[in-house]
Amino acid sequence: MTDVLSGAERRRLDPGDDARFYDRPRFVHHVDEGFRDRLARLYADRLDAGDDVLDLMGSWVAHLPDAAYRRVVGHGLNGEELAANERYDEWFVRDLNAEPELPLADAAFDAVTCAVSVQYLQYPGRVFAEVARVLRPGGVCIVSFSNRMFVGKAVRAWRERDMDGRADLVGRYLDSTGAFDGVELVREVPERDPFYAAVARRQG
């Protein structure tokens, strides 16, 4: 299966093992408070109480608002961080660059979120095809990002683009699946961390 990125575009400055890089937990915030508050408000606006939610490439904080979701499943690369996330009902560890497939049932979720991590995906087309598979018809995918990253682990296609170019790239990832009804870009550029989010609904 071909992917959105070419071999050159998916190259990283640090090609080492991801599991080893993320072996040590990092209990820090990777974006500022303004970004985190804006993301929580976006989630509050686009997710409904009672939703089944998958938080992809997550950590010890999910940025979800205070809402009663039916189930929140977390995914990431560090089990200690995931275990510390009080919003997760269950979680699993998987390196999506090595295994893009999600060990989850078809049409199991109403929402999939991915916060400030999309820049690390080397096979985004395959991953977002899996996102489309696990989403129910009409379900929402929200991919948020800023200008912060672990530079060594970000793919070349991301490093070499400006923020609007990165937004276009995420749009390509989602469009490549053929499963979403267009992509809405939410963009705000305050004095500190810029806030970008791509929002797409699974076709019915």
Domains and CATH numbers, the chain: 18-201 (3.40.50.150)
DSSP 14: -
Instruction: Report the phi/psi class of residue 72: left, alpha or beta, with left for phi > 0 and alpha for psi in -120 to 50.
Output: beta
Q: What is the pLDDT of residue 28?
A: 62
- Map residue 121 onto helix, strand or coil: coil
Q: What is the pLDDT of residue 2?
A: 66
Regions of the chain short of the pLDDT cut 70? 1-2, 27-28
Closest CA to 139 of 198, 53, 60: 53
Q: What is the pLDDT of residue 135?
A: 98
C-alpha to C-alpha distance for 142 and 159, rounded to whole angstroms: 21
Q: What is the four-CA torsion angle of 77, 79, 85, 87, rounded to 10 degrees?
A: 80
Closest CA to 42 of 118, 190, 124, 145: 145
pTM across the whole model = 0.94
Q: What is the pLDDT of residue 74?
A: 98
Q: What is the four-CA torsion angle of 62, 129, 199, 135, rounded to 10 degrees?
A: -70
